[in-house]
Structure 1
Amino acid sequence: MTAAARSGAHDSGPLLLGVRHHGPGSARAVRAALDAARPAAVLIEGPPEADPLIPLAADPELRPPVALLAHAVDEPGRSAFWPFAEFSPEWVAIRWALEHGVPARFIDLPATHSLAWDKRTDTAEPAEPTGDAEPTGAAESKHAGEDTDAGEGADGGEGERVRVDPLAVLAETAGYDDPERWWEDVVEHRGPGERDPFAPFAALAEAMGALRERFGDGGHTRYAVREAHMRLRLRDARKEFGDAVAVVCGAWHVPALRERTTVSADRALLKGLPKVKADLTWVPWTHRRLARSSGYGAGVDSPGWYGHLFCAPDRPVERWLTKVAGLLREEDRIVSSAHVIEAVRLADTLAAMRGRPLPGLGETTDAVRAVMCDGSDVPLALVHDRLVVGDVLGEVPESAPAVPLQRDLARQQRSLRLKPEALERELELDLRGPTDAGRGRLLHRLRLLGVHWGEPAESRGSTGTFRETWRLRWEPELSVRVAEAGVWGTTVLAAAQAKAEADATAATALAEVTALAEQCLLAGLPDSLPVVMRVLADRAALDTDVGRLTQALPALVRSLRYGDVRGTDTGALSEVAAGLAERVFVGLPPACTGLDTDAADEMRGHVDAVHQAVNLLAETPAGGAVPGAGEAAGSGGGGAAGGSDGAIGRGDLRGRRRGDLRDRWRGVLRALSLRDTAPGVIRGRSARLLLDEGALDAAEAARLMGLALSPGTPPAAAAAWIEGFVGGGGGLLLVHDERLLGLVDAWLTSVPAEAFTDVLPLLRRTFSAYEPGVRRTLGELVRRGPGQGTGPGGHAPATPGFGTEPDTARADAVLPVLRLLLGLPDGDGRETTGHDNLAGVGA
């Protein structure tokens, strides 16, 4: 080390560079100090097991932000992260050492101890204070779903002590109410022309020494153990390289590293620490996960802003506001170069008025709000999310160590052109194409493994089974989930199959198994489906709860649709679904007796779901949903009839039973509509479903409504019947059938005043679900008085805008256009009415 370096370091020992993690000012200062000192070795706060991974930092394909991931081999879910950004001082030190051929080593407490320590205490303690801001020394643990200091524990009363934020204390001492603003003024706004590159570190070390004298360990009980290990590693380096050693660590640790202790005392602190076997690798990280708002205790408020400050060669404010203007233009906001000029002037003026050396994030934000956003915080929220925080996702090369499952996932991501991204995006898949089908299978398999890279979303276009919509967003925690899923197999397919079979065996509820069968079809796991189906058949045979059966049937029948696009044989699934439907038909009427209001509403939902499931099941080919598969052949091998003796084949028997399902379900609905012991909401819904199916004519529906609304029926029960009959999309039914509307109107006007307040909430809930136009039309009909007038010839009263009979002349007028649209010939010249022609087109 040079004499200048020694004088700047204030002593003849190693060069201790205390930093704020993820600080661009600290990062620039570290590089300047290393350039001046030219040490023989660089020691960095971090897990020593990661030393073999340091050379990968020279790979151009390793692009920060990245993180060191450590996880217990026997329990991958117990893991910790050490994040690095481009503006992290530790990353700068690693890169400097690699560029100059200098050894770089990590000196913090090994991950093998920190992971085991967390397991022993089984507590989650916040990360280090903002001033120390540990990204490398304080692992970001994903155990229990929160950030913790993996090198620090909480034992008894010690863990309850108040923790000190060094930056907050120093900022308050300097008269600042915001530690971030103080740090920007003192460090980030320092000019690059400092004569002594070691002066900032000496000043910061002195400040931290005063704080440690006042607050001790600041409430962080594990620091003593971590710092003892750092001192031991520092002694080893000094034996090898002398005093020409530079240490890059959190500024809070500098006084402890200067402390003179004995080797035996430090080793005594480390004696008896628990151990687990740990694996480490590099994983991608994001700016969003570096933000303190994500829960990362060592995070910063504005990773994107800090990244800009670190990378901007000059004029950082002007470049930043130009970047903001570009983002707003992409969102179709009118932002010109004049706006940028005015925003720069305003930011400079605000900085001068506030006594700051240069405009900071607060001044630029105020300028953007006033000049570019017209005082609105709505576009400003976009600027904060996309630029101030940022959505940058790092990259890791293939040469980095990884579990086999991770390598297979990366291979499939490349082959399917499905690149992980930090920014959430929507992905539309057309499963009729091989690439999109492969993407859908991969995402479903990952969800089955607990790797929720994508979440299904509602499609805004077609609702066919050939289309899927996903929301994709890659989070760093997913790397841990992949490591956890590695216990199920070395490939995504094998792991998903093993996980599905294990989940099926462990499932206790029938609905869980039916949902699993649906997942197997979506994920393309035909080898797992027989195991799931066997468990499903066993659970269905033993389950007698009609509520659970009705919950299981819709998901099971819905699964039959997926074979159309995915080419999966769902014959066995179809037979189980048909048997489950039979059991629902038998048990549903008794289950609808003696229900309270909430249970009746829930059962009505089950009735609707079963109705849709039965209709879908009745339309499914008996041999499964595979296109062209047809019916199963009979035992005689003689086509549809089975054999030459005319025996009916098994496929025809299944087809006949499938056709009978709809008739049997209509019988169940008819029984429910007439069952006096069933709640009114279920009786009304059953009558409505029969009416929609054409199994109940309008006159009979009016009769049932008249009975339900008779004076002998309690008003609350009558209102429940109405809710079941016309709830949901039933508004148009009342618009077009004034007899039913008249019955409802007559009943409502006859409800006694003391009972009206009881039925009003039910009626409000029913009619508030209608479209505004439907409600407006109903109001007009009620104002006119439904049923008070009749149309020509004594017909039912005319609905406004509708005639009592078809207008054939008006129908004839549209026929030429209709023929042109449908490509039909002009006809044979026979004079026909518009009604006849339209009937022919419909046929």
Structure 2
Amino acid sequence: MAVIFLGVRHHSPACARLVADTIHAVRPAYVLVEGPADMNHRMDELLLGHELPIAVHTGYRDHERRHSSWTPLCDYSPEWAALTAGREAGAELRFIDLPAWHPALAGLHNRYADAEARYNEATGRLCRAFAVDNVDALWDHLFEIEPADGLAERLATYFDLVRGDTETGPDDTAREAYMAQWVRAAAGEAGERPVVVVTGGFHRPALVRLAEQGERTWPEVPRPPEGATVGSYLVPYSFRRLDAFDGYQSGMPSPGYYQDLWEYGPDGAARRLTEAVTSRLRARRQPVSTADLIAARATADGIALMRGHPCPARVDVLDGLATALVGEAIETPLPWASRGPLQAGHHPVVVEMIAALSGDRKGRLHPSTPLPPLVHAVLAELGGPGDERLHLDEQAGRERSRFLHRLRVLGIPGVVRTSGPRPAGGTELVERWTLTETDDRLPALIEAGGYGVDPQEAAASVLAGRIRDADLDQLAGALFDAALCGIGELAGQVLDDLARAVVAAADLGSLGRTLTVTLAMWRHDDLFATRNSATLGAVVRAATLRALWLAEGVLGGPVPADPQRIGAMAAVRDALRHAGPPLGLDVDAALALADRVAACQDAPPDLRGASLGLGWSLRGAAAVDPVRAVRGAFVPASAGDWLAGLFALAREEVLQAGGMLELLDELVAAMGDHDFLVALPALRQAFGYFPPRERHLIATRLVELRSGASAWDLMRLEAAPELVAAGMALDERVDAALRREGLITP
């Protein structure tokens, strides 16, 4: 009995042809394939007649770990060729690798992730020897465009060379020992008929050695740990998700090109790639002439000849197209000269070339394919495309909102909220959503099915995963999402973590965002059913006290205004205003602290302004002399930053205080040209805290002070204010020079 080991590169047309030809020639008793052994009893489901690419998606969760992974297959995957050819030859089909949830694969999100990073030294030496840029070009050079004669021997030599004496880690060792046991058992059962083993080339040398010794009994399929939840389902996949230029970790980039290579051979693939690039460019109104195409093909043929290729390979065609279609100098290296996702900054023609290489094929499951319960639960309730307006003060509106928020948390495409409650601001009782049809929805729903059987359970699982190792901002976001999803038990867990995190918080901005979220939930019972919650109130109180303590410790000279720091002081103001007495907050002590910060010259200007605004907004105009306070604190060098803090916390008080706008106009007008130019960006930021209607009111009152011009016209100046100010400063310098030289009289 013979065991034929075929080491392959995943998603390789040359390897897929070799596998299919070998199986048809020897008609083995067993075909063993690197893949999840727990899918063996579902082999008929896998071979139903889907439109590839598809993938086996596995979701795993327990109280310590959550993991998702994919086993993708396309027409030219050697594993798929092994399954289909083996079924045609009447062989027994078996996946022989550990299940995707197994700890040995915990570090892999893709079973067919490229293993060649483990032997970069060997492949690097080969790339230098054959004068190619990277391992993808090396692979094409050695295997994809070369004649098929002797391919099995060349592959075996290649993988023996690149693995060499590499020491495998415990994960690969466990996988190879498990796969070898399947090989020994199949060999013992096959009698005189051969066994074909198809695995990644990295594993082949070890399996050849391990298959000669050890037990010949069929291995057991590992079972998940008690309390763990595991689900594996077929999902439609796409060429875009298979493409290394989009971040996929497989060995083969450009799946659209390799699909053509599989179907039409090297010459046909080169021709179709040129046609695809031309079509994409012309569709975007980029001129591509017949002469350009002739030049590209001639250049590609010449490059192929120079590189010793019997016909143009992928990089030959790409280099020819780039030479013919890109007329100017290219600042960044061409993306096919390296590996990994496409980076920003490439020429638009090059970007279109990469898109043409990728292709736009999307898989489709056979109608009889089992789907997880979550899919049925969502599709039964989701409804058709359109816009929805939900009234959150009605029970039906709240229930629909929670359902849609659960889908949003799960990342289901085509479910977008356009307006509704936000962590900051008052309660908003109307929510708007836009639902659209998308081909990506079904795969996303199937993959989300690994988190739970219904939207509530699945969303709770996702949010629980976000909580793990989350920082203060992420915890606050998870709390708000949990409330929007109506997942009360999770909110309780987040609150416990928040309470611990707040006590140790060191960043005022993050603490302020957390306070904003928790205060909104504590106040608004109609939305969250958490009004006056004792646990939530404890978090609000602790966050307020911690924020005040941090604010008094912030020191530093004039620095740009920090919107997050200012927002934290605004959150403190709202907590003192709306929750002070109920939560036992000492408002008088807080105001005394704000006075100290406002008067501290070592504190940043924006924090001093915000502290003044805090006291002004809580005490009211009757208890404050705003004109005296502003005149005493106004410093030209940091005026904009200081005003940003003041306006953010006391915007309404500034507008209502008599003579305040006139005072600010006086102070700004007294600034020298240089000081004004330096302060202008910060001044613009400060006045940005006023909404448009109030900015128009301010402009109207200031224009009335100075001239009869239209405030509306002033607000709609097309020139940037900085440019206008710079022009005025230049005019002043010119006038000064002319007066100095006696060319004009004062």
Q: Please state which band the TM-score falls in when normalised by the shorter chain.
A: 0.5 to 0.7
Counterpart code for 2:567: G
**CA distance 1:210–1:717, change in 2 (3 Å):** closer
Residue 163 (structure 1) aligns with: 119
**Partners of 2:286 and 2:380 in 1: CA distance:** 36
Give the aligned residue type for 1:572: R
Does 2:666 align with 1:742? yes
Code of the residue aligned with 2:431 in structure 1: it is F
The equivalent of 1:360 in structure 2 is: 313
Relative to the length of structure 1, the TM-score reads 0.58
The structural deviation recorded for 1:200 is: 1.6
2:668 aligned with 1:763, yes or no?
A: no
The residue number in structure 2 matching 1:708 is: 633
Structure-2 separation of matches of 1:769 and 1:729:
15
Please give the secondary structure, in 2, of the residue aligned with 1:300: coil
Aligned to 1:416: 382
Cα distance, 1:574–1:38 mapped onto 2, change above 3 Å: closer
Match of 1:491 among 435, 438, 454: 454
Which residue is 1:186 aligned to?
A: 142
Match of 2:609 in 1: 684
2:272 aligns with 319
Query: Which of 1 and 2 has higher RCO (CA within 8 Å, sep 6+)?
Result: 2
Corresponding residue number in structure 1 for 2:200: 250
Partner Cα separation in structure 2 for residue 306 and residue 670 of structure 1? 68
Distance 2:202 2:503 in 1: 63
Partner of 1:798: 707
Q: CA deviation at 1:521?
A: 4.2
- Which amino acid in 2 is paired with 1:491? D
Output one character per residue of 1:503-561: Cα deviation in whole Å (capped at 9) or x when no partner. 99x99999888755532442245x65996899899999999999798545532465599
Deviations 1:316-359 (A, max 9, x none): 22222222233334545445677555544443344334443222
Q: The residue matched to 1:107 in structure 2 has which SS?
A: strand
* Separation in 2, partners of 1:537, 1:276: 32
Deviation at 1:55, TM superposition (A): 1.8
Aligned to 2:697: none
Query: Does the residue aligned with 1:22 lie in a helix, a strand or coil?
Result: coil
Q: Secondary structure at the match of 2:199?
A: strand
Aligned positions of 1:260-271 closer than 5 A? 262-264=212-214
**Partner AA of 2:352 in structure 1:** V
Q: Which residue of 2 aligns with 1:56?
A: 45
Aligned partners of 1:537 and 1:576 also within 8 Å: no
Secondary structure of 1:357's counterpart equals coil
- Tell me by how many angstroms 1:743 deviates: 1.7
Q: What stretches of structure 1 of length at least 5 have no aligned partner?
A: 1-11, 128-134, 141-146, 150-160, 420-426, 619-656, 659-663, 750-755, 775-789, 804-843
Call closer, same or farther: CA 1:511–1:96 in 2, change over 3 Å.
closer
Matched residue of 1:596: which SS? Answer: coil
The 1:88–1:694 alpha-carbon spacing in structure 2 relative to 1, beyond 3 Å, is same
**Distance apart, 1:66 and its partner CA:** 1.1
Match of 1:445 in 2: 406
Query: CA, structure 1 residues 592+116, in 2 after alignment: closer, same or farther (shift >3 Å)?
Result: closer
Quick one: structure 1 residues 17 and 741, their matched pair in 2 at CA, closer, same or farther if it must change by over 3 Å? same
Which residue is 1:554 aligned to?
A: 516
Conserved 8 A contact 2:31-2:195: yes
How has the CA–CA distance of structure 1 residues 263 and 722 changed in structure 2, closer, same or farther, with 3 Å as cutoff?
A: closer
Q: Secondary structure at the match of 2:35?
A: coil
User: One-letter code of the match for 1:326?
Assistant: S
The separation in 1 between residues aligned to 2:501 and 2:142, in whole angstroms, is 70
Using the alignment, how far apart are the partners of 1:521 and 1:594 within structure 2?
Answer: 33
Residue in 1 that maps onto 2:102: 115
- Structure 2 gaps of 5+ residues are 331-345, 423-427, 691-701, 713-746
Whole-angstrom CA distance in 1 between matches of 2:555 and 2:677:
16
Letter in 1 for 2:682: T
**CA deviation after TM superposition for structure 1 residue 89, in Å:** 0.8
Q: Verify the 8 A CA contact 2:473 2:514 in the aligned structure 1.
A: yes
Q: What amino acid does structure 1 have at the position aligned with 2:348?
A: P
Instruction: Describe the SS at the equivalent of 2:10.
Output: coil
Contact 1:43 1:245 in 2 (8 A): yes
- Looking at structure 2, the residues matched to 436 and 394 of structure 1 have their Cα atoms a distance apart, in angstroms, of 36
Contact 1:291/1:300 (<8 A) preserved: yes
In structure 1, how many angstroms separate the alpha carbons of the residues matched to 2:126 and 2:505? 68
Is 2:248 aligned against 1:309?
A: no
Q: Distance in 2 between matches of 1:368 and 1:457?
A: 40
Which is further off, 577-586 or 83-92? 577-586
Query: Separation in 1 of the partners of 2:594 and 2:126?
Result: 78
Question: Deviation of residue 499 (structure 1)?
Answer: 8.5
Greater C-alpha Rg: 1
Which residue number in structure 2 is paired with residue 281 of structure 1? 232
Task: Report if aligned partners of 2:178, 2:219 keep a CA contact under 8 Å in 1.
Answer: no
Whether the 8 Å CA contact 1:61–1:396 is kept in 2: the answer is yes
Matched residue, 1:237: 186
Q: Shift of the alpha carbon at 1:462?
A: 13
In structure 2, the CA distance between the partners of 1:748 and 1:329, relative to structure 1 (3 Å rule), is: same
Cα contact 2:486–2:528 (8 A) shared by 1 = no
| Percent identical residues | 23
Contact 1:44 1:249 in 2 (8 A): yes
| Counterpart AA for 1:347 | A
Are 1:66 and 1:286, in contact at CA under 8 Å, matched by a contact in 2? Answer: no
Alpha-carbon spacing, 1:507–1:189, altered in 2? closer, same or farther (3 Å):
closer
What displacement does 1:261 show?
A: 6.8
In the TM superposition, residue 412 of structure 1 has moved relative to its aligned partner by 0.9
CA distance in 1, matches of 2:128, 2:19: 26
2:431 maps to what in 1? 466
User: Given the alignment of the two structures, is residue 596 of structure 1 paired with residue 544 of structure 2, yes or no?
Assistant: no
Partner of 2:744: none
SS at match of 2:190: helix
2:44 maps to amino acid: P
Which one of the candidate residues 371, 380, 388 is aligned to 2:357? 388
Looking at structure 1, the residues matched to 221 and 49 of structure 2 have their Cα atoms a distance apart, in angstroms, of 38
**3-state SS of 1:67 partner:** strand
